[in-house]
Amino acid sequence: MKKVFLIFSVTLLLGLSACTLRHIDSILSQDEKHNQSANSTVHSNIKKPNVIIIFMDDMGYGDLSSYGHPTITTPNIDKLAQEGQKWTNFYTASSVCSPSRGALLTGRYPIRIGLGPLKKRVFFPNSTGGLPTSEITIAEMLKEEGYKTGIVGKWHLGHLPEYLPTQQGFDSYYGIPYSNDMDATKGWNLANLLGESDINLWNVPLMENERIIERPADQTSITKRYTEKALEFIEKHQHDPFFLYFPHTMVHTPLFASQDYLGTSKRGYFGDVMNEVDWSVGQVISTLERLQLDQNTLVIFTSDNGPWLMMRDHGGSSGLLREGKGTTWEGGMRVPGIFYMPGTVQSATVTDIGSTLDLLPTIAHMTGAKVPEDRIIDGYDLSPVLTEKAKGGRDHMIFYRNQDIYAVRKGDYKAHFITETCYTLNNNRQELENPILFNVNHDPSERYNHAEAHPAKLDEIIQLAIDHRSETPNSYSELEKVVNED
């Protein structure tokens, strides 16, 4: 019997590989389509909860003391993990910056929102595209409910005027609009990336709303200044419901920390930078406490993708997970996920599957906002887990790289259809004739292939991929749009 299944799986997979899981006719059963809006409740008589998302850049699963790092100390972040919920199977929707950010803000896989890469994986200074304004961001969703909305930090979803945060539901913006290693003045190379910190090597702009206010941005004080702006926003809107999206520029390489933090960590420069970020988180929480907003503010802390391993000790760590940024191995996609709201979020370590895709429907449920109904939303409402430690809605995760499904997880098992490393001379892309299967709860390091032992599991995952693909066609990519230099 097993053999029959295996043959079926392999035959099916060969078919899938041939068309890379594209154009498969299958009809999704209606009951698979979740509709979180039916559960939405409008809290009309109490002040709606505030929402703060603190989003790290390239911080890996293993870069917090609460997630097991032996020498990084992050007491303020760890307090949120301990008193709130620490999720240990929490995924980003892409292993690189721009698609990951678009997915977080819209609750949709990047391929649905023009951010499924073809060749270019993120936006660059010569990009002319951006997150399409037809997409509905968390900020736009909450504005409908009367929220004040602000972003402080890295945007990376298009830096031309029509794509800036102020066109995507945010009342205000302060930050570096793309990655801090762009606009290299003396070459993009490891010597400059890992050498002496010099702000003049990276001519990146610092923007306030639609205006460039500094160039090159003084990155040595960037975490400090972002924090000041974030606190200013909280103070200013303490009597309104507010949404603050706070995507840090750190700990993306090149690393920068202010003078006060240099030499403060046993982990070296990366740890110094983490210390400053941890200070920043502490400032946000103590400001909420001082203003007596802490019990009415949902704080979410997570990261856009795994660690940039080619940056050596200036890059982060994925801990016990395999590989890092750019890949669909666990180290590229699984990140810390922390939820904190004293009195509402029940303290727990949660091993359920969750994703940054789930933030939009979860926030919608907790604020009484409406999940968009005119499009497919890939996120699930996690609020039953947060508030009652009940079961979450998510039982699977699709791992895309570019526009291909590389891997799929369902329950304990994750199957890889295509494998590839990243940031090496030869990334060794392989479409697998025989997909490999890992029990990522038993084996989070993805070392022991169980495909032969569990053909039914593999078959189930292949079917899930087929069903998903039936509602997810390939798409054009905004990332390909660049300045015509002819």
Q: Of 58 and 446, which has the nearer Cβ to Mg ion? A: 58
- Nearest residue to Mg ion, by Cβ distance, number only: 97
Position 305 contacts Mg ion (CB under 5 A): yes
Q: Of 250 and 360, which has the nearer Cβ to Mg ion? A: 250
Tell how far CA 64 is from the center of its chain.
Answer: 16
Listed ranges 82-90, 208-216, 303-311, 400-408: which one lies at the site for Mg ion (CB under 5 A) = 303-311
Listed ranges 32-40, 305-313, 430-438, 464-472: which one lies at the site for Mg ion (CB under 5 A) = 305-313
H/E stretch holding 301 reads strand 297-303
Instruction: Give me the catalytic one of 156, 314, 450, 468.
Output: 156
* CA–CA dist 59, 85 (Å, integer): 18
* CA–CA dist 241, 471 (Å, integer): 36
Q: Of 91 and 147, which has the nearer Cβ to Mg ion? A: 91
Q: Are 31 and 484 in contact (CB under 8 A)?
A: no
**Contacts of 217-221 spanning 24+ positions with Cβ under 8 A:** 217/176, 217/180, 219/176, 219/180, 219/249, 219/254, 219/256, 220/256, 220/257, 220/258, 220/259, 221/258
Burial of 159 (0-12, 13-18, 19+ CB in 10 A): buried
Q: Of 288 and 335, which has the nearer Cβ to Mg ion? A: 335
Q: Of 109 and 380, which has the nearer Cβ to Mg ion? A: 109
Listed ranges 49-57, 119-127, 231-239, 263-271: which one lies at the site for Mg ion (CB under 5 A) = 49-57
Position 63 contacts Mg ion (CB under 5 A): no
* CA–CA dist 6, 15 (Å, integer): 14
Q: How many residues does the chain have?
A: 486
Half-sphere exposure of 229 (CA within 13 A, CB side): 23
Residue 308 corresponds to which tokens in the numbers above? 């940039």
Q: Of 84 and 153, which has the nearer Cβ to Mg ion? A: 153
Instruction: Give me the catalytic one of 34, 69, 97, 416.
Output: 97
Listed ranges 81-89, 93-101, 267-275, 355-363: which one lies at the site for Mg ion (CB under 5 A) = 93-101
Q: How far is the CB of 454 from Mg ion (least distance, A)?
A: 33
Out of 80, 97, 113, 382, the only residue in the binding site for Mg ion (CB under 5 A) is 97
Q: Is 97 a catalytic residue?
A: yes
DSSP secondary structure letter of residue 441: T
Q: How far is the CB of 316 from Mg ion (least distance, A)?
A: 10
Q: Of 178 and 406, which has the nearer Cβ to Mg ion? A: 178
Q: How far is the CB of 98 from Mg ion (least distance, A)?
A: 9
Out of 49, 55, 58, 87, the only residue in the binding site for Mg ion (CB under 5 A) is 58
DSSP secondary structure letter of residue 202: B
* CA–CA dist 301, 254 (Å, integer): 22
Out of 63, 135, 304, 330, the only residue in the binding site for Mg ion (CB under 5 A) is 304
Q: How far is the CB of 256 from Mg ion (least distance, A)?
A: 15
Q: How far is the CB of 100 from Mg ion (least distance, A)?
A: 7
Q: How far is the CB of 302 from Mg ion (least distance, A)?
A: 12
Half-sphere exposure of 431 (CA within 13 A, CB side): 12
Listed ranges 241-249, 301-309, 370-378, 410-418: which one lies at the site for Mg ion (CB under 5 A) = 301-309
Cα–Cα nearest to 297, from 37, 481, 48, 12: 48
Q: Of 56 and 437, which has the nearer Cβ to Mg ion? A: 56
* CA–CA dist 59, 278 (Å, integer): 12
Q: How far is the CB of 323 from Mg ion (least distance, A)?
A: 15
# residues near Mg ion by CB under 5 A: 5
Listed ranges 52-60, 80-88, 437-445, 463-471: which one lies at the site for Mg ion (CB under 5 A) = 52-60
Half-sphere exposure of 87 (CA within 13 A, CB side): 28
Q: Are 256 and 220 in contact (CB under 8 A)?
A: yes
Q: How far is the CB of 324 from Mg ion (least distance, A)?
A: 11
* CA–CA dist 214, 182 (Å, integer): 15
* CA–CA dist 351, 334 (Å, integer): 12
Q: How far is the CB of 210 from Mg ion (least distance, A)?
A: 24
Q: Are 90 and 355 in contact (CB under 8 A)?
A: yes
Out of 52, 55, 57, 106, the only residue in the binding site for Mg ion (CB under 5 A) is 57
Q: Of 69 and 156, which has the nearer Cβ to Mg ion? A: 156
Q: Is 468 a catalytic residue?
A: no
Q: Which residues are catalytic?
A: 97, 156
Judged by the rule CB under 5 A, the positions of this chain that interact with Mg ion are 57-58, 97, 304-305
